Structure 1
Amino acid sequence: MTEQLTVGGRKIPLDDAKAFARKYLSGEGIWAYPAYDAYPGHPGTDVGHADLLAVALLNAHQRPLDSYYGLESLIPLINERLSDPALQGSLAEANAATLDAIARLFGVLDEKRPKYVSLTKLSKVLHRKRPELIPLYDKNISRCYADEGLDPRDRSRSWHDYSRLLLAAMKRDLADQIDHWLEIADLATQVKITPLRAMDIVGWHLGR
């Protein structure tokens, strides 16, 4: 029986997932790796202005100037929440307090959501600051988890509440298949990536 990898409600044969990841991680200038993963950004664990440019390296470049200024306006609130001591370790091993802290971080969009700033762009900034812990998010990842009933278009949920449910589901998929995600992460030779980034690469492919 062919072994499968699961991201949300979607599945892919393990060999096919590895084959796509091998292409993505080839470093031939076709995909976002290694540009996004090697981008130096702002040093340290807090978000600085240089980090805001990373969103373009994962093709989230709609209205780049407006997006930059919008993200810039969120820096104080982001860094306040990034300082939460619960934001440590990996998503695979995260406890409830850590998942709550990530959801609170994503929840900055409930308090202030500048035009052209989405969870997609915010996550692309934040993942690089805690690459083992904070997942990437985009419409393709959204599609994978919408198959399980987590639809971001459900306006009855705040971004905090939506992301808290999403994080629990992503933790499950990461932890339950961690050996495979580690194996895929090891395919990255130019710049190391985390198992969480490996899951994003496969999920992005599945959601297309």
Structure 2
Amino acid sequence: MGKATLNFMTEMITVGGFTVPVDKARRMVWEYVSEYGNWSYPAYDGYLRDAPTTDVRQQDLLAAALLNAGQQPIPTYYGLLKLLPEINRRLADPRLKGTLKEAEDDTLEAIAELYGILDEHPQHQVQLTKLSKVLHRKRPELLPLYDENIRRCYFEFGDHVRVEPVKRRKDKDRMLVWLPEVRKDLRIGVQEWNALAALAVEPPISPLRALDILGWRLVDEATPRKKRRPRRSPQP
């Protein structure tokens, strides 16, 4: 896969609490979509791409494991399986249309209701992170990915955090305050997000996925990992 030629329109790009040079953003996204075997691209993004469906089916429930959200895969699978009828009922909401960048407030409300399904139907080993990783693939331009790094990107980082953190906030309520901020970032950096998404050629990704990649990596970079202590050899 050859490296795409990009024409970035501005020098900086914002995601959550980070504003970084576009050259840095390009490097981070390019590494993610080009270093096969090191990241979840193309495994997650290409999974079942040749057999797409508009609704969620049993085979889709395994996608979360390809984005490093597969802890306890058996109870996760059965928990999601119990939710399938209600997931697809909410996914069929006519308000779920277009892209997140273009979404009106009623579309954001419908996304929040879809992502809030666990508020009403909690399942063992299934939380918002895994649910979002199953749903994103159904509407990659509209339904965002969500995990701990993305939460921190918007709820913790920045001189003034973009979203005020509240303990024990329900998933639907969390989405209602978070989604407008993601939409804002997509709208402000339209050309830049399109160019970053274009770095992934086969399979392609959406600007919303590019935002997830960049936000996740920036939080990861800003959070030093604890080094493991070397194992001592047993004493004789």
| Equivalent residue in structure 1 for 2:44, among 36, 39, 46 | 36
Q: Residues 133-171 of structure 1: CA distance to partner in whole angstroms, max 9, x if unpaired?
A: 00001111000111326366621x321111111111111
Distance 1:103 1:53 in 2: 23
Show CA shifts across 1:54-88 (max 9, x none).
00100101111111111111111100000001101
Q: 1:127 to 1:142 in 2, by over 3 A?
A: same
2:147 maps to 1:138: yes
Aligned to 1:87: 96
Give the corresponding residue for 1:182: 194
The alignment status of 1:68 with 2:81, answered yes or no, reads no
Counterpart residue identity of residue 125, structure 1: V
TM-score, scaled relative to structure 2: 0.83
| Contact residue 162 and residue 181 of structure 2 kept, 8 A | no
- TM-score normalised by structure 1 residue count: 0.94
Task: Provide the aligned length of Structure 1 versus Structure 2.
Answer: 206
Asked whether the equivalents of residues 87 and 102 of structure 1 are also in contact (C-alpha less than 8 Å), the reply is yes
Which residue in the other structure is 2:211 paired with? 199
Structure with bigger helix share is: 1
User: How far is the alpha carbon of 1:119 from its aligned partner?
Assistant: 0.8
Q: Deviations over 1:104-145 (max 9, x none)?
A: 001101101112111110000000000000000111100011
Distance 2:219 2:127 in 1: 18
- Please tell me the residue identity of whatever aligns with 1:58: L
Structure 1 CA distance for aligned equivalents of residues 33 and 167 of structure 2: 34
Q: Provide structure 1 residue ranges, at least 5 long, that are not aligned to the other structure.
A: none
Query: Which 4+ stretches in 1 moved above 3 angstroms?
Result: 149-153
Distance 2:153 2:35 in 1: 26
The partner residue of 2:106 within 97, 102, 107 is 97
RMSD: 1.5
Does residue 1:52 correspond to 2:61, yes or no? yes
AA matched with 1:160: K
Partner of 1:17: 25
Contact 2:17 2:162 in 1 (8 A): no
How far, CA to CA, are the matches of 1:144 and 1:96 in structure 2?
Answer: 22
Greater Cα radius of gyration, structure 1 or 2: 2
Partner Cα separation in structure 1 for residue 122 and residue 12 of structure 2: 38
Residue 111 of structure 1 corresponds to which residue in structure 2? 120
Task: Give the whole-Å Cα distance in 1 for the aligned partners of 2:28 and 2:195.
Answer: 13
Query: Which runs of 5 or more residues in structure 2 are unaligned?
Result: 1-9, 221-236
Query: For residue 139 of structure 1, what is the amino acid of its counterpart?
Result: E
